[in-house]
Structure 1
C-alpha cells in the first residue's frame, strides 16, 4: 500500500466513521426530524434505535485493529443500509438532495473497504489435496 493510498484510506474511513456515528446517534436518540423522515419512507419508528446501535457498533468494528471478518460484516451492513436508503428515497419520489448523504456514505464505504490495509483484510487460504 502506497502512502497516498493510506492517506486516502484514512480520510475515507474517518469521514465514513463520522457520518455513520452521527446518523447512528441521531437514530438512537429518535430525534423528531429523523422519525419524520423514517416514517415518510414507510418504516416503523421502532427500527431507528436498532439501526442506530448497529451503525455505532459498525464504526467501532471498522476502526478497531484486527477482527477482519467483523470489519467485512460492518462494511456490508453500511453498504446495505445506505443502498436501502437510496432505494427508499427513490421509491418515495424524493428530491435529488435526499440522495446526497446516502450516496456519499456508499462511496466512502467502498473506498474505505477497497483501500483497507492488508492487516484489516480476511486472508484466504487455498488448500490443495
Structure 2
C-alpha cells in the first residue's frame, strides 16, 4: 500500500533540526504557499539554514562519491563474511542490505526479492 503522506524525522538532517515530508501531488498541493487556501505547516519542517549549510558542506567536502563507495564496501565485507560463515556451518541465515544497513533473515536459500524476507503471513 502506498501511503498518502510520508514523514521523515531528524535522521535526514543528521540529527539536526530538520525534517521532511512528502506525498501524492494532490495532497502536497494543499501546502503550496502560492495558493490562497494553502494549509500552513510549522516547526522543524521549515527552512533551517544551519542544517542546510551543514548538509551542503558535508556533501561537498565529507561525503564525496569516493567516501560513499568506501562506506558501502565496509558494509559489504561483513555481510559477505556472515553469509559465508552461515553457509559453512549449514545455518539457514542470509544477511542482506547495503552500506551499513544489515537485515538478518532465517531462510534456506538466499532471498531473491524483498517479499521473500517478509513473514509468510504478510507475503
Same fold (TM over 0.5): no
TM norm structure 2: 0.28
Higher helix share: 1
Q: TM-score, normalised by structure 1?
A: 0.27
- Answer 1 or 2: higher relative contact order, Cα 8 Å, separation at least 6: 1
Tell me which protein shows more strand as a share of its residues.
2
Larger radius of gyration: 2
